[in-house]
């Protein structure tokens, strides 16, 4: 009898339920449910609709019953950073304000009055980003202290969904590291830091590692779904799950987890919290089995997703990069890590303003705007590769682009062009695969992560990017060799 495992993988723009199993030594996947997700404006804040998300989680689980393929376990992963607070009656306090919300404006400076930026990085090695949980919690302390005072539990998004399924609360390590409140060496909450910031210590629970059981469906869920199932912890931070699915065991390989965000880096066994690393703004996120993801957060496909919404035609992503290709004569670039692109009212305006302020030609057409984003992203990837090489002292030969964004052939070609590395694309569903791999590791289907990665490498399409697919020839001048 086949053992099925269900990954519920929710990103900032869509969620999916994917069943995974092994067959003839290979991992197989089937997507059984998909839904959209987006930030909604509520009470003047950008919020996640948790009731809708939970309803969609349940809808997808119901599909297993319809298909008569009940999973052995279920694991939920989502984006990092965001959280909800529960009161003593286990009710949500306030809204699930999303990381792009502007309530954190100026909170970095407030936090640095208590602990300076260098010391903060030395403790947790987490890249400075205004979206980090630490700044949201501090915003709450300043703006809605009554919520923090009434809070009994701090749960990150997957933990809240797990709680709704099982009635059990468990905090998970990989996602907790994205709060910037976990000490990089002890891998536990940084109680001293939490104290210094005046945040209530009692809301943060024990940290559990991936593969831990959360619990079985609650009685109410069992009744609603018509079956019971064990909910387990994968790396609940989606990037943690995605990087587990890198189809290689070569520790020198660079990964680029490409989705709403682009996360580019390497896996390491020792965190680097030095001042040099801070100045490069690399992060050391906690990973599966005591690994660290040494990477940089880059704005990613969010910029294309936002432009796509803004443009009058509902372009497919293929059409978007075709437009970008047409605009390839346009050479202005923007800093794709800049905060001005986090949640602008209009992405195209934000890009135009950036070009104007930096005294570059301002893009006029959709093609020019798009190429500006593509070109800027790929150039940023190349800079990150150079910085990584400077930090590690090694020459990294291969880049593995994983996740939905790896289907963008144009971006892959530009990445290969600028980085001068061998670029491999796939697997597309890396996050769900990593989630399922953690569940299979728990079930003993793999002995360790290297074995899981070997199976992943032979199970899914991984294509070497063809440097010659696109010529960047403009006006008969071959600008790209």
Please report where in the chains the tokens 């940290």 appear, as a residue: 207
Rule CB under 6 A: is residue 104 a binding residue for ligand LFR? no
CA dist 212 and 442 (Å) reads: 8
Binding of ligand LFR at residue 133 (CB under 6 A)? no
- Do the Cβ atoms of 176 and 126 come closer than 8 Å? no
Hey, how many other C-beta atoms are within 10 angstroms of the C-beta on 386?
11
Q: Measured between alpha carbons, how far is 224 from 65 in angstroms, rounded to an integer?
A: 11
For the window 238-257, what string marks contact with ligand LFR as x by the rule CB under 6 A?
xx------------------
Q: Does 47 contact ligand LFR by CB under 6 A?
A: no
By the rule CB under 6 A, 180 interacts with ligand LFR: no
Instruction: Give the binding-site size for ligand LFR (rule: CB under 6 A).
Output: 13
In angstroms, what is the minimal distance from the CB of 176 to ligand LFR?
13
Sign of the CA dihedral running 458, 464, 469, 470: positive
Residues 352-391 contacting ligand LFR, CB under 6 A: none
Question: Should residue 427 be labelled a site residue for ligand LFR when binding is judged by CB under 6 A?
Answer: no
Q: How far is CA 132 from CA 107, 126, 186, 371, 379, in A?
A: 10, 9, 20, 29, 25
**Does 260 interact with ligand LFR (rule: CB under 6 A)?**
yes
Judged by CB under 6 A, the stretch of 43-51, 74-82, 149-157, 414-422 that binds ligand LFR is 74-82
Cα distance between residue 124 and residue 182, in whole Å:
6
CB 176 within 8 A of CB 187: no
- Placement of tokens 């030609």 in the chain: 361
x/- letters, 205..244, toward ligand LFR (CB under 6 A): --------------------------------xxx-----
162 makes contact with ligand LFR (CB under 6 A): no
119 φψ region: left (φ > 0), alpha (ψ -120 to 50), beta (else): alpha
Question: In this complex, which beta carbon is closest to ligand LFR, that of residue 133 or of residue 332?
Answer: 133
Which of 134, 169, 184, 263 binds ligand LFR (CB under 6 A)? It is 263
Please state the closest distance from residue 98 (CB atom) to ligand LFR, in A: 9
Catalytic residue, from 9, 77, 190, 238: name it.
Answer: 238
Is 238 part of the annotated catalytic residue set? Answer: yes
Residue with tokens 């290979």: 26
The minimum distance between CB 402 and ligand LFR, in angstroms, equals 12
Q: What is the rounded distance in angstroms from the CA atom of residue 227 to the CA atom of residue 230?
A: 10
- Binding of ligand LFR by 412 (CB under 6 A): no
Residue 267 contacts ligand LFR per CB under 6 A: no
In the complex, the smallest distance separating the C-beta of residue 83 from ligand LFR, rounded to whole angstroms, is 11
- Enclosing H/E stretch for 296: strand 292-298
Token output for 92: 């949500």
| Burial class, 481, CB count within 10 angstroms (exposed 0-12 / middle 13-18 / buried 19+) | exposed
Residues that bind ligand LFR (CB under 6 A): 11, 79-81, 99, 237-239, 259-261, 263, 297
Catalytic residues: 238
């Amino acid at each position: 009898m086949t053992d099925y495992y269900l990954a519920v993988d929710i990103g900032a723009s869509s969620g999916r339920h994917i069943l995974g199993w092994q067959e003839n030594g290979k991992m197989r996947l089937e997507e059984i449910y998909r839904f959209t997700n987006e930030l909604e404006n509520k009470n003047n804040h950008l919020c996640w609709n948790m009731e809708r998300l939970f309803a969609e989680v349940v809808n997808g689980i119901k599909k297993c019953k319809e298909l008569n393929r009940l999973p052995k376990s279920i694991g939920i992963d989502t984006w990092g950073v965001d959280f909800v607070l529960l009161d003593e009656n286990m009710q949500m306090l306030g809204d699930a304000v999303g990381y792009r919300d502007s309530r954190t404006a100026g909170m970095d400076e407030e936090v640095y009055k208590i602990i300076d930026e260098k010391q903060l990085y030395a403790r947790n090695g987490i890249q400075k980003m205004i979206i980090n949980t630490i700044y949201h919690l501090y915003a709450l302390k300043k703006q809605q202290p009554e919520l923090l005072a009434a809070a009994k539990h701090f749960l990150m998004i997957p933990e809240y969904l797990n709680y709704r399924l099982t009635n059990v609360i468990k905090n998970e390590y990989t996602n907790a590291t994205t709060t910037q409140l976990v000490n990089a060496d002890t891998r536990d909450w940084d109680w001293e830091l939490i104290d210094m910031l005046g945040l209530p210590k009692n809301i943060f629970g024990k940290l559990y590692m991936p593969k831990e059981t959360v619990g079985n469906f609650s009685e109410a869920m069992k009744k609603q779904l018509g079956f019971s199932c064990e909910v387990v912890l994968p790396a609940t931070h989606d990037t943690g799950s995605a990087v587990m699915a890198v189809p290689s065991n070569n520790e020198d390989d660079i990964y680029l987890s490409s989705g709403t965000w682009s996360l580019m880096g390497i896996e390491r066994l020792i965190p680097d919290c030095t001042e040099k690393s801070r100045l490069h703004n690399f992060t050391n996120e906690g990973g599966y089995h005591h690994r660290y993801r040494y990477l940089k957060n880059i704005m990613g496909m969010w910029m294309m997703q936002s432009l796509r919404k803004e443009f009058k035609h509902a372009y497919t992503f293929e059409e978007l990069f075709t437009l970008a290709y047409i605009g390839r004569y346009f050479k202005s670039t923007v800093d794709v890590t800049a905060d001005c692109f986090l949640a602008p009212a209009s992405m195209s305006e934000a890009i135009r303003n950036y070009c104007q302020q930096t005294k570059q030609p301002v893009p006029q057409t959709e093609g020019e705007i798009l190429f500006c984003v593509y070109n800027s992203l790929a150039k940023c990837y190349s800079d990150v590769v150079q910085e990584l090489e400077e930090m590690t002292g090694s020459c990294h030969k291969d880049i593995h682009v994983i996740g939905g964004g790896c289907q963008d052939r144009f971006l892959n070609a530009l990445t290969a062009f600028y980085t001068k590395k061998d670029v491999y694309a796939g697997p597309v569903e890396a996050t769900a695969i990593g989630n399922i791999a953690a569940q299979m590791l728990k079930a003993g289907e793999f002995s360790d992560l290297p074995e899981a990665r070997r199976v992943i490498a032979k199970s899914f399409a991984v294509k070497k990017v063809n440097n010659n697919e696109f010529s960047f020839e403009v006006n008969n001048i071959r600008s790209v060799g």
